[in-house]
Amino acid sequence: MDTLLITLRPVIAAEAAAEAYGTPADPEDVEQALCLRLLERAGDPPADPAAWVRAGARAEVRAARRRRRAEVPYRDDTHAAAGRTPDDPVRGLLAAEAHRAVRALPPPYRALAEALLSPEDLTYPEIARRLRVPQGSLGPRRSRCAARLRRLLAGWADDTAVAAWAHDAR
């Protein structure tokens, strides 16, 4: 099966790129899904591998389209839930501190944080394309970025306004 995967890898990559072109699907994600499907069939290799790759790539792209249609932008209700208005001065101070922390991040993390916080409400595939990274790497990158932001903000947490807001938010 490893030999089949090694042999089909260029075909899988080409089919994934061709099928994903002009769609919300990331070619690397389609390729990864097809390789995984092939490995899951270890005991039962496809009779016609080329046809199997074509059909699989189409199926993965269709699934990506369905997922894209089902995505709903996140609506931020935190202001209403906390009883605060967006123009609350403490909230404005916190937003300013958060933006200052984002600007203090190293460039790769700053770009990711800015894309995640973008008012365009970008999806993971859009962020991956914008940053030119595989979509599958966004989760780990986001975790590392969040950890750096937490460390930065923790260093600034002695600010009395931030402490007052944190106490009030409990």
Alpha helices, H only, the chain = 2-20, 27-40, 49-70, 78-82, 89-104, 107-116, 124-131, 138-155, 160-169
- Residue 40 belongs to what domain range? 2-70
Q: Cα-atom radius of gyration of the chain, to the nearest Å?
A: 22
Q: With 0-12 CB in 10 A as exposed, 13-18 as middle and 19+ as buried, what is 151?
A: exposed
pTM for the structure as a whole: 0.43
> 40 and 64 share a domain?
yes
> 104 and 54 share a domain?
no
Could you say which DSSP state residue 133 is in? S
- On whether residue 117 sits in a domain, the answer given is yes
pLDDT bin (cut points 50, 70, 90) of residue 75 is: low
Distance CA 161, CA 41 (A): 58
Contact (CB, 8 A) for 6 and 49: no
pLDDT (0 to 100) of residue 160: 46
Distance CA 7, CA 141 (A): 31
Residue 123: is its pLDDT beyond 80?
yes
Of the chain, the percentage scoring pLDDT greater than 70 comes to: 76
- On whether residue 55 sits in a domain, the answer given is yes
pLDDT (0 to 100) of residue 170: 47
